C-alpha cells in the first residue's frame, strides 16, 4: 500500500468480487493529470475541488468501514468501487488540509453525481467469456476420446482437436493430442476452473492418466452499458493515438488502452465491450478509466 506520488496513475479499484485485499490503490493529488498511458478526461483542475473530493472520499470510506464487509453484489457498488484510499489509511499526500476542508459542505452521503471531478461510475462490467488453458499432462488419443465420450466432435481434416461441450457450466473445450486443453465460454473464473476440471475428469474416466497442471486464464471479456449515447467522432479526434474508428469496417470505435492493456469496443448506443484482460481487476480498472472520458463525449440531444 504505497502512497507513492511518483506514480500518479488513476487506478479505480482492484478486485471487488470476493477479493481479500483492496489491491494497490494509489491516491495522489496529481490524479487528474495522470500518466500519458492512462486516458485522462478533460477536467477542471481546480485544486480546491480536488481537495474537497479527497475529503469526501475519506469520509465515505470511513462511513463504509462502519458498514463493514465487502458486499460484492452490484447493489452496493456505488460506494464500494469509489474508494480510492486503502481501508484504514486516511493520509493524503497534501499536508495540513484536514482541518480546513472538513466543512458542512461535504455531507456524509453517497456520491452525488453533480461533481465534475473523478468519481465512480456505479456501473460494473459483467464478464461474458473466459478463455483458459490447462495441461492434462499426458498424450491423448483423440479418436478414442471422440468415439467414447458424449458431446464430442472430431474432424481431423478440419481441425486437429476434439471439441467437447458440457452443459453445466455451459462451456466448450478444445482437447489436443498433446494433452493441452483450451476451455471457453465460462462466465467466471471459478466456473472456468470447474469446467476444466470436469473435462479433465471425463478424459480421466476414459482411461487416460489425466492431471490438472498449469491452469491459467488467458483472456477475459466483459461488457457493460453506460446508458447514454456517445459521440464517437469526437472521441476519435481527441484520442487519436489510441482509437480507431472506421464506420466502413466496423460500427464501433476500437480503443486500445495502454495501461491496463485492454481493448475496448465502444458503440454509439453506449454499450462497451472490454477484452484482453488476464484478471478481472483489469477490466474494472479499464472501465473506470474510460467512463469519465465517455461522459465527456455524451450526446446532448
Instruction: Tell me whether residue 256 or residue 278 sits nearer to another protein (CB atom).
Output: 256
Query: Is residue 299 involved in binding another protein (CB under 8 A)?
Result: yes
Query: Is residue 265 involved in binding another protein (CB under 8 A)?
Result: no
- Binding range to another protein, per CB under 8 A, among 52-60, 155-163, 265-273, 288-296: 265-273
Query: Is residue 245 involved in binding another protein (CB under 8 A)?
Result: yes
Binding residues for another protein restricted to 130-189, rule: CB under 8 A: none
Q: In whole angstroms, how close is the CB of 39 to another protein at the nearest point?
A: 17
Binding residues for another protein restricted to 200-229, rule: CB under 8 A: 229
- DSSP string covering the chain: ----TT-------S--SS-SS-------TTTTT--TTS--------HHHHHHHHHHHHHHHHHHHHH-S---SGGGHHHHTT--SPTT----SSTT-HHHH-STTS-SSSPPTT--S----S--PEEEEEEEEEE-SS---HHHHHHHSTTEEE-TTT-SEEEEEETTTTEEEEEETTSEEEEEEESSHHHHHHHHHHHHHHHHHTT-----EEEEEEEEEEEEE-SS-B-HHHHHHHTTTTEE--TTT-SSEEEEETTTTEEEEE-TTSEEEEEEESSHHHHHHHHHHHHHHHHHTB---
Instruction: Tell me whether residue 116 or residue 229 sits nearer to another protein (CB atom).
Output: 229
Taking CB under 8 A as the criterion, the residue among 89, 228, 233, 261 binding another protein is 233
Binding mask 74-113 for another protein (x = CB under 8 A): ----------------------------------------
Look at residues 63, 94, 87 and name the one whose alpha carbon lies nearest to residue 13: 87
Taking CB under 8 A as the criterion, the residue among 201, 209, 251, 261 binding another protein is 251
d(CA 301, CA 297): 12
Strand-pair partners of 226: none
Instruction: Tell me whether residue 139 or residue 299 sits nearer to another protein (CB atom).
Output: 299
- Binding range to another protein, per CB under 8 A, among 123-131, 136-144, 195-203, 263-271: 263-271
Query: Is residue 240 involved in binding another protein (CB under 8 A)?
Result: yes
Kind of pairing between the strands at 152-154 and 126-135: unpaired
Instruction: Tell me whether residue 212 or residue 267 sits nearer to another protein (CB atom).
Output: 267
Taking CB under 8 A as the criterion, the residue among 269, 276, 278, 296 binding another protein is 269
Q: In whole angstroms, how close is the CB of 250 to another protein at the nearest point?
A: 9
Q: In whole angstroms, how close is the CB of 301 to another protein at the nearest point?
A: 5
* Interacting residues toward another protein by CB under 8 A: 229, 233, 236-237, 240-241, 244-249, 251, 267-269, 299, 301
Amino acid at each position: 500500500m504505497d502512497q507513492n506520488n511518483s506514480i500518479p496513475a488513476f487506478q479505480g479499484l482492484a478486485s471487488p468480487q470476493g477479493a481479500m485485499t483492496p489491491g494497490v490503490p494509489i491516491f495522489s493529488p496529481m490524479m487528474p493529470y495522470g500518466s500519458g498511458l492512462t486516458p485522462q478526461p478533460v477536467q477542471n483542475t481546480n485544486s480546491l475541488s480536488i481537495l474537497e473530493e479527497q475529503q469526501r472520499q475519506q469520509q465515505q470510506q470511513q462511513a463504509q468501514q462502519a458498514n463493514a464487509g465487502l458486499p460484492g453484489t452490484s447493489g452496493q457498488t456505488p460506494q464500494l468501487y469509489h474508494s480510492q484510499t486503502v481501508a484504514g489509511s486516511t493520509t493524503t499526500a497534501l499536508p495540513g488540509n484536514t482541518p480546513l476542508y472538513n466543512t458542512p459542505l461535504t455531507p456524509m452521503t453517497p456520491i452525488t453525481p453533480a461533481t465534475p471531478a473523478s468519481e465512480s461510475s456505479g456501473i460494473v462490467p459483467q464478464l461474458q467469456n473466459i478463455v483458459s488453458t490447462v495441461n492434462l499432462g499426458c498424450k491423448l488419443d483423440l479418436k478414442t476420446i471422440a468415439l467414447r465420450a458424449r458431446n464430442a466432435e472430431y474432424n481431423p481434416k478440419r481441425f486437429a482437436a476434439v471439441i467437447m461441450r458440457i452443459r453445466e457450466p455451459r462451456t466448450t473445450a478444445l482437447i489436443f493430442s498433446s494433452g493441452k486443453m483450451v476451455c471457453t465460454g465460462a462466465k467466471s473464473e471459478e466456473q472456468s476452473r470447474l469446467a476444466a476440471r470436469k473435462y479433465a475428469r471425463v478424459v480421466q474416466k476414459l482411461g487416460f492418466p489425466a492431471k490438472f497442471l498449469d491452469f491459467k486464464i488467458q483472456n477475459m471479456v466483459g461488457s457493460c452499458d453506460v446508458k447514454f449515447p456517445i459521440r464517437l467522432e469526437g472521441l476519435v479526434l481527441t484520442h487519436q493515438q489510441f482509437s480507431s474508428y472506421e464506420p466502413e469496417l466496423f460500427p464501433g470505435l476500437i480503443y486500445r488502452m495502454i495501461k491496463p492493456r485492454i481493448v475496448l469496443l465502444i458503440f454509439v448506443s453506449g454499450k462497451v465491450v472490454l477484452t484482453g484482460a488476464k484478471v478481472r481487476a483489469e477490466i474494472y480498472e479499464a472501465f473506470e478509466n474510460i467512463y469519465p472520458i465517455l461522459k465527456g463525449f455524451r450526446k446532448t440531444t
